[in-house]
Amino acid sequence: MKKKRIKQKEDKKTDRKHGNRTRKAILGILSVLVLLCLNSCGRELEEREFPDTLVIRDSALPFEKSLQTEQDKSSKYLDYGQVRCVLLEDDLAEDDEKLGEVLLALEKRPAFSRNIYFFTADGKALEQQEKQKEESQDLTGFYQKSTDHKREAATLGSLLYRLHNGSGEHKILKLKEEDGKLVPQNYLNVLKKTENENTAKKTKTTKTIHGIEKQTTKETADQIQQGIAKEILRFHVLANSDSEEDQKLKLEVKDRLVDYMKDILDGAEDVKETKKRITENRETICLVAEQEIQKQGYTYPVSVNLEKCYFPMKTYGDCTFPAGTYEALRVCIGKAKGRNWWCVLYPGLCFADSVNVIVPDEKKQELKNILTEEEYESLFDWREDDYQIRSGFLRLWRKLFA
C-alpha cells in the first residue's frame, strides 16, 4: 500500500513536469506566431505607400478601372487617403469628357478628399515628377501662388460642383519643368461650355434695389465675388450625418462656438486680424467644440481649421453673398457627411435666424467700409419681385409675432 502511494506521488510529479513542458512549448509556439504576425504587419506598413501626389496620364483612361487595378501593377499597397494633389496631363485636362470621367471616378472613392488640389502639366513635366517621386515637391505651394493671383482654388469639390451643375469653366494652374523642378506657367480653362452658350450667358441684365438697370458680365461678376471673398471670413460647421440627432448636435456646437468667439474676435479691425486671432486660438476653439460634443453625450472627433471652400449663393436677411470660393473657419464633426451650417464670421453676421431678419445698419456700414461701392451694392442687388415677396413675408411675420 505504501509503495502504491509513493508510486502515485512520483506519477503526479512526472505529470506536472510534463504539463510544465507542454505549457512552455505552447507559450513558445504562441510567441513565435505573435512575432511572425508582428513582423508581417511591420512589412505591410513598410510596403504601404502614402503618396501625396497622384499623377494621371491620358493613357490611364478608363480611369475608374485604372484605380481598381493599380494595386496589381505594383508590389506596394497604395493608400490614397494621404493624397493632397492631383497632377493631370495637359491633353487629359483639356478634354472636358475625359476630365469629367476622372472627376467622377475620384468622387466614387471616399478616400479622396474634396479639398485635394488639381494641377496640370505636359508629358515632360510628368516624367520629371515620376523620376523624382521619392523627393516629390510639395505642390500645395503652387496652390498658394494660384490663390494669390486669382483667389480661385481648383479643388476636387469645386470641379465636381461645376461638372454636376454645368456652371461654366474653371481654371487649373498649369506647371512646366524648369531646371528639374515644376514651376507655375499659366492657367488652363477647363469644364468649358459651348461657344454659343457662353455668348448667350456672358451678358445679363440686373436691377439694383434702387431700380437702376445695369449690364454685368460673367467676368465682372467673378471679379466682384473674388473681391468680396478677399475681405470677409466665413464660418462653416459640418454635421456628422443628416440624422435628427446629429443635426441638433451641429447647432449646439455652432451656438457654443459663436458665443465663445465673441470675446476672441471683439475689436478685430479687419479680416487679417480676425484670421490671426483664430489661428492663435484654434486649439482652444477645437477644445470648446469637443467639450460641447461630450456634454451632449457624443464621442465624435472634431477638427477646426482655416480652409478655402466653395460656397453656393447664400442670403443673410436682405444681404446675398454670391457663390464662389471663400476662406472659412471649418468645423468638421465626426464623418462630416451631414447638412452644414454657415455664416459670415467677419464682419460678424452669425445671427441665429438669417432668413427672417434684416442685416443691422452697423453691420452694413462695416461691409461698406471694407468693400468697393460695386461690391457692396452687389450684395443687395435683388430682383424687384424677389424683394417684394421677402418684404411681404417680413411684414406678415412682424404682424403675427410682434
pLDDT at residue 294, as a whole number: 93
Among the ranges given (89-93, 180-184, 377-381), the one the predictor scored with the smallest mean pLDDT: 180-184
Contact partners, residue 186, CB within 8 Å, separation at least 6 = 174
Are 173 and 252 in the same domain? no
What is the C-alpha separation between 80 and 110, in angstroms, rounded?
A: 9
Average pLDDT over residues 76-83: 58
Are 237 and 287 in the same domain? yes
Average pLDDT over residues 93-100: 79
pLDDT at residue 310, as a whole number: 80
Q: Quick one: which H or E segment has residue 256?
A: helix 244-265
Alpha helix segments (H runs only) across 82-239: 90-93, 96-108, 123-131, 140-150, 156-165, 195-202, 218-231
Are 288 and 345 in the same domain? yes
pLDDT at residue 10, as a whole number: 63
Are 245 and 347 in the same domain? yes
Does the pLDDT at position 92 exceed 60? yes
pLDDT at residue 298, as a whole number: 92
pLDDT at residue 331, as a whole number: 92
Over the stretch 199-212, which tens digit does the pLDDT of each residue have?
A: 444 444 444 433 43
- Higher pLDDT pick, 136 / 53: 53
Are 85 and 220 in the same domain? no
pLDDT at residue 223, as a whole number: 83
Does the pLDDT at position 73 exceed 90? no
Average pLDDT over residues 247-252: 91
pLDDT at residue 46, as a whole number: 44
Are 192 and 288 in the same domain? no
AA letter at 230:
K
Closest listed residue to residue 379, CA positions, set 394, 396, 397, 358: 358
Tell me how many domains the chain contains: 2
pLDDT at residue 131, as a whole number: 64
Over the stretch 4-27, which tens digit does the pLDDT of each residue have?
A: 566 566 665 565 556 566 666 677
Alpha helix segments (H runs only) across 266-382: 271-280, 282-295, 361-370, 373-378
Percent of the chain with pLDDT over 90: 11
- Higher pLDDT pick, 286 / 91: 286
Domain containing 68: what range?
53-196
Q: pTM for this one? A: 0.44
Closest listed residue to residue 241, CA positions, set 317, 300, 291: 300
Bond before 301 cis per omega within 30 degrees: no
pLDDT at residue 15, as a whole number: 57
Q: Which residue has the cell 415677396?
A: 389
Are 289 and 227 in the same domain? yes
pLDDT at residue 196, as a whole number: 42
DSSP conformation letters of 308-334: EEEE--EEETTEEEPSEEEEEEEEEET
| Radius of gyration, CA atoms only, the chain | 30
Instruction: Classify strands 181-190 and 319-321 as parallel, antiparallel or unpaired.
Output: unpaired
Give a yes or no: residue 106 inside a domain. yes
Does the pLDDT at position 383 exceed 50? no
Are 228 and 361 in the same domain? yes
Are 173 and 246 in the same domain? no
Are 60 and 192 in the same domain? yes
Give a yes or no: residue 125 inside a domain. yes
Give a yes or no: residue 310 inside a domain. yes
pLDDT at residue 284, as a whole number: 92
Give the mean pLDDT of the chain.
71
Give a yes or no: residue 112 inside a domain. yes
Does the pLDDT at position 123 exceed 80? no
Q: Are 379 and 320 in contact (CB under 8 A)?
A: yes
Are 303 and 253 in the same domain? yes
Over the stretch 295-346, which tens digit does the pLDDT of each residue have?
A: 999 999 999 999 887 877 777 667 788 888 888 899 999 988 888 887 888 8
Give a yes or no: residue 390 inside a domain. no
Over the stretch 136-145, which tens digit does the pLDDT of each residue have?
A: 555 666 655 5
